[in-house]
C-alpha cells in the first residue's frame, strides 16, 4: 500500500472517530460520572470494578452504530475517496456513442470503443494513429498534442469512401502527466448535408425567380421605349409578361406549400378519405388539360378500394401533380392509365394507386433524384410545360406525412409508372 493510501485511510478513520465521539458524547459523560461516584463512595477495592464498567461504557459509546447519520457519513467518505477512479476506462469509453480513441505518448492506440471500430475499421492496440489517419489536418493535431504544443486541438476531418462523412475531431490530454490522450469524433455529415441543401435551395429559388423578373423588366423597358406606339408588339409583350407573372405565382405557391408541409411532417392526419373519390375528382378536373395535350386518361379501378386516413386536399394535390405530369411529359404516348388496387388483391396487403404513361420514359440514373427540389431531367422541357421543379418534392412530403411512399419504375422509350403505396391500417 502506498503512503498516500495509508494517509487517506488514517484521515477517514480520524473523521469517523470524531463523528462517533460527537454522536455518543452524552453517553460518555454519564459513564465518567458513574465511575467518579463509585470511586468516592466505596472502599478502595471496588474502584477496580468501576474502572472496568467505565471501560465498557467507552467501548459501547465508540462501537459502530448503523444510524442514518453514520451511513450518510460513510457514503460521503466512499464518494470522496474517488469512486469514479474505480470505474473501468473501457466501460466509460463504451458509454460514449461517438467514436473515441485513447492513445499514448508514442501515438499508438491504447483503446478504441465500438463506435470507433464501426466507423474506421479495426483499431487494435499498438496501431500508430499517424499511419491510420494520413490526412494533413489529422497529422497536425495529433503531433501538436503529442509534442506539447497544445493540450487540446480541434479540426474537421472528412472521408469519401465508402460514403462521404464529415467529423469534428477533438484531441486532448487525459488529465495531467498521465501520458495518455483521447480523440473524439463528432459526426457532422447530416448537419453539412442540411446546410448544403439549404444553400442549393436558396440558389435555385433565386434563379427561378430571377429569370421571369429579368424577362418582365426587359419587356417593360421595351414598351416604354421602341415599342411604345406599336400596338401589335405591345399585346405580344404583355402576354409574355402575364405568362412570366403566372410562372412566378406558381413557384411562390409551391414554395409556400412545401414550407407548410415541412412544418408538420410528423402530424398524422386523423380524417378518413374516400381514395377512389379523390382520384376520380382529379381525373375529371384534368380531362380538359389531357384533351389539349392529345392524351386520353383511362381508369382501371378494383372494387375493394378502402378509405384511408388522410387530408383530402393534400391527397388531391398529390394525384393532381402525378396525373398532370403524366399528361405533360408523356403526351407522345397518347394515353395515361390510372389504376387502383386494394389490399385484398395486393400481395403486399397495401392500397396502391399507379399513374402510368407511355412517353419517352426516365433514364435510370435520374430516378433516385426526381423528387429533389428543383431537380429537372430536361430543364428546357420543364419550363415549357410550366413546371416549377417542386411538384414531386411536394408529393414526397405529403406522402411521408400520410405514412405512405412513392415508387417509380421507368424504361427509356416505354414510359414511366408512379405508384403510391398506402399501408393497411
pLDDT per residue as tens digits for the range 180-222? 999 999 999 888 887 777 777 777 777 777 878 888 888 888 8
Domain coordinates of the chain in residue numbers?
A: 3-86, 89-187, 191-262, 272-422
Give, in words, the CATH class of 191-262. Answer: mainly alpha
**Joined grid coordinates for residue 191:** 448537419
User: What does DSSP assign to residue 265?
Assistant: T
Please check the confidence at residue 99 and state whether its pLDDT lies above 90: yes
Grid coordinates standing for 39? Answer: 470511586
pLDDT at 96: 86
Q: Rounded distance, CA 268 to CA 422, Å?
A: 13
Tens-place pLDDT, residues 103-159: 999 999 999 999 999 889 889 999 999 999 999 999 999 999 888 877 788 999 988
Query: Is the model's pLDDT at 379 over the cut of 60?
Result: no
pLDDT tier, 237 (very low <50, low <70, confident <90, very high otherwise):
confident
Q: What is the CA radius of gyration of the chain?
A: 40
Q: What is the pTM of this model?
A: 0.53
DSSP state of 82: T
Please give the pLDDT value at position 1.
46
Q: How many residues does the chain have?
A: 425
Band (413; pLDDT cuts 50, 70, 90): confident
Task: Say if residues 418 and 402 touch (Cβ distance below 8 Å).
Answer: no
Q: In whole angstroms, what is the distance from residue 215 CA to residue 223 CA?
A: 12
Q: Tell me if 18 sits within 8 A of 73, measured CB to CB.
A: no
> Is pLDDT of 232 > 60?
yes
Beta-strand pair 165-173/152-159: antiparallel
Which CATH number fits the domain 89-187, given the four candidates 3.40.920.10, 3.30.450.20, 1.10.357.10, 3.40.50.300? 3.30.450.20
Q: What is the mean pLDDT of residues 285-302?
A: 89
pLDDT confidence of residue 367: 86
**Cα separation values, 374 from 179, 208, 261, 364, 383, Å:** 54, 9, 17, 18, 11
What are the tens digits of pLDDT across the range 313-332?
A: 889 989 998 999 898 888 88
Distance CA(423)–CA(347), nearest Å, equals 12
Say if domain 272-422 classifies as CATH 3.30.565.10: yes
Amino acid at each position: 500500500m502506498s503512503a498516500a493510501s495509508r494517509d487517506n485511510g488514517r484521515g477517514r478513520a480520524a473523521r469517523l472517530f470524531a463523528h462517533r465521539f460527537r454522536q455518543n458524547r452524552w453517553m460518555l459523560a454519564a459513564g465518567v460520572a458513574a465511575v467518579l461516584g463509585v470511586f468516592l463512595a466505596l472502599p478502595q477495592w471496588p474502584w477496580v470494578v468501576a474502572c472496568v464498567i467505565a471501560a465498557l461504557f467507552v467501548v459501547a459509546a465508540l462501537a459502530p452504530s448503523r444510524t442514518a447519520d453514520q451511513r450518510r457519513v460513510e457514503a460521503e467518505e466512499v464518494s470522496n475517496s474517488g469512486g469514479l477512479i474505480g470505474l473501468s476506462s473501457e466501460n466509460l469509453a463504451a458509454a460514449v456513442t461517438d467514436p473515441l480513441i485513447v492513445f499514448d505518448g508514442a501515438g499508438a492506440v491504447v483503446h478504441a470503443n465500438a463506435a470507433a471500430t464501426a466507423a474506421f475499421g479495426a483499431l487494435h492496440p499498438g496501431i500508430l494513429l499517424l499511419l491510420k489517419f494520413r490526412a494533413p489536418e489529422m497529422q497536425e493535431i495529433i503531433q501538436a498534442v503529442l509534442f506539447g504544443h497544445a493540450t487540446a486541438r480541434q479540426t474537421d476531418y472528412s472521408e469519401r469512401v465508402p460514403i462521404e462523412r464529415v467529423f469534428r475531431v477533438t484531441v486532448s490530454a487525459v488529465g495531467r502527466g498521465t501520458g495518455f490522450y483521447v480523440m473524439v469524433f463528432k459526426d457532422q455529415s447530416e448537419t453539412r448535408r442540411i446546410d448544403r441543401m439549404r444553400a442549393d435551395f436558396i440558389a435555385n429559388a433565386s434563379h427561378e425567380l430571377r429569370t421571369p423578373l429579368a424577362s418582365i423588366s426587359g419587356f417593360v423597358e421595351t414598351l416604354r421605349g421602341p415599342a411604345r406606339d406599336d400596338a401589335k408588339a405591345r399585346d405580344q409583350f404583355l402576354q409574355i409578361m402575364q405568362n412570366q407573372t403566372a410562372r412566378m405565382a406558381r413557384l411562390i405557391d409551391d414554395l409556400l406549400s412545401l414550407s407548410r408541409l415541412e412544418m408538420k411532417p410528423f402530424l398524422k392526419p386523423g380524417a378518413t378519405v374516400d381514395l377512389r373519390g379523390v382520384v376520380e375528382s382529379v381525373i375529371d378536373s384534368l380531362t380538359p388539360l389531357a384533351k389539349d395535350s392529345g392524351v386520353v386518361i383511362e381508369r382501371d379501378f378494383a372494387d375493394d378500394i378502402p378509405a384511408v386516413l388522410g387530408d383530402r386536399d393534400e391527397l388531391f394535390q398529390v394525384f393532381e401533380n402525378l396525373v398532370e405530369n403524366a399528361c405533360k411529359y408523356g403526351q407522345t404516348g397518347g394515353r395515361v392509365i390510372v389504376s387502383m388496387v386494394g389490399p385484398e388483391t395486393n400481395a403486399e396487403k397495401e392500397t396502391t394507386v399507379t399513374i402510368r404513361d407511355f412517353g419517352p420514359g426516365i433514364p435510370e440514373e435520374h430516378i433516385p433524384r426526381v423528387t429533389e427540389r428543383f431537380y429537372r431531367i430536361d430543364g428546357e422541357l420543364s419550363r415549357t410545360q410550366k413546371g416549377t421543379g417542386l411538384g414531386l418534392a411536394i408529393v414526397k412530403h405529403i406522402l411521408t406525412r400520410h405514412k405512405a411512399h412513392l415508387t417509380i419504375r421507368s424504361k427509356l422509350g416505354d414510359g414511366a409508372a408512379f405508384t403510391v403505396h398506402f399501408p393497411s391500417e
